[in-house]
Amino acid sequence: MTSSNIQVVLVNPSHPGNIGAVARAMKNMGLRQLVLVDPRKFPDPEAEWRAASALDIIQAARVVQSLDEAIADSQFVVGTSARERRIPWPVQDARVAANRIVQRSSTDRVSILFGREDSGLNNDELRRCNLHCHIPTHPDYESLNLSMAVQIVCYEIRMAELEGKLLQEQDAHWENEFATSEDMEYFYKHLEETLVDLEFLNPAAPRQLMTRLRRLYSRVRLDEMEVQILRGILKETRRVVRENKDK
């Protein structure tokens, strides 16, 4: 994703506090270009204090008088909408739309439009869009605050950008080497012997206990230190069991 190719456009925002909260939501997720179309009250101190550490986005926000001016150089325009339209239009949920946005932003200038706090985008504005983005809220309470809607869409864009990277980065920076297959086999043998000592496992009728325990530990990747800790616990457990038997 090229974040410099993505701009968030707020159409006629009425509350300066929402503008500040939007700036904060954007910066959390790595987006920095904010465009305000005919805001009712901006600049305003409330927008600044609500922005917190995203004051730079507020200060760099571009203020225009019309949507035409806001999206004049955009090549892909996404409009957020909570309403169904009489004429079908390409519409996707925020997660799928975010993937489209990330793909397009690698080569095209993208605008994401958010409408008025009380009525959203009107039909004429939605007709300017290549795609409509819908956030599927629960039917019991469908209303979303403007900054909440922006946060959701920006989060999905961030996750689309990071797809497949989070686990790789986690593994790459793990503090210890992961346990080898041989280490794990020694651990399972040690575990089985301890369970027999505890009379929790009957070697004559083991059923599927060890298989299930293997499955349990296989769901996570134990590192060398974790295996050593577990084997230390097993060693101490066997010592205590033997001492009690000798009494």
CATH code assigned at 155:
3.40.1280.10
Sorting pLDDT into bands at 50, 70 and 90, what band is 26?
Answer: very high
Beta carbons of 71 and 44 less than 8 angstroms apart:
no
Residues 157 and 181 occupy one common structural domain:
no
Which helix (H) or strand (E) segment holds residue 113: the answer is strand 110-114
pLDDT of 174 above 80: no
Q: Which two tokens stand for residue 39?
A: 């805001």
Residues 16 and 129 occupy one common structural domain:
yes
Q: Provide the domain count of the chain.
A: 2
Q: pLDDT higher for 173 or 203?
A: 203
Residues 9 and 131 occupy one common structural domain:
yes
Residues 28 and 78 occupy one common structural domain:
yes
Domain enclosing residue 200, as ranges: 174-246
Q: 180: domain CATH number? A: 1.10.8.590
What is the β-pairing status of strands 76-80 and 6-11?
Answer: unpaired
Position 89 scores a pLDDT of 65
Residues 33 and 81 occupy one common structural domain:
yes
Residues 113 and 81 occupy one common structural domain:
yes
Sorting pLDDT into bands at 50, 70 and 90, what band is 219?
Answer: confident
Position 93 scores a pLDDT of 92
- Angstrom CA distances, 169 to 21, 174, 220, stand at 30, 9, 16
Beta carbons of 9 and 70 less than 8 angstroms apart:
yes
Sorting pLDDT into bands at 50, 70 and 90, what band is 187?
Answer: very high
Report yes or no on whether pTM surpasses 0.85.
no
Mean pLDDT of the residues in the chain: 90
How big is the CA angle at 243 (ends 233 and 228), to the nearest 5 degrees?
Answer: 15
Q: What integer is the mean pLDDT of 90-99?
A: 89
Of 146, 169, 192, which marks where a domain is finished?
169
Beta carbons of 38 and 12 less than 8 angstroms apart:
yes
Residues 145 and 180 occupy one common structural domain:
no
Position 14 scores a pLDDT of 93
pLDDT of 86 above 60: no
For the chain, how long is the longest CA-to-CA vector? Answer: 89
Of 138, 169, 200, which marks where a domain is finished?
169
Beta carbons of 100 and 161 less than 8 angstroms apart:
no
Q: Three-state SS for 105?
A: helix
Of 169, 187, 217, which marks where a domain is finished?
169
pLDDT of 173 above 80: no
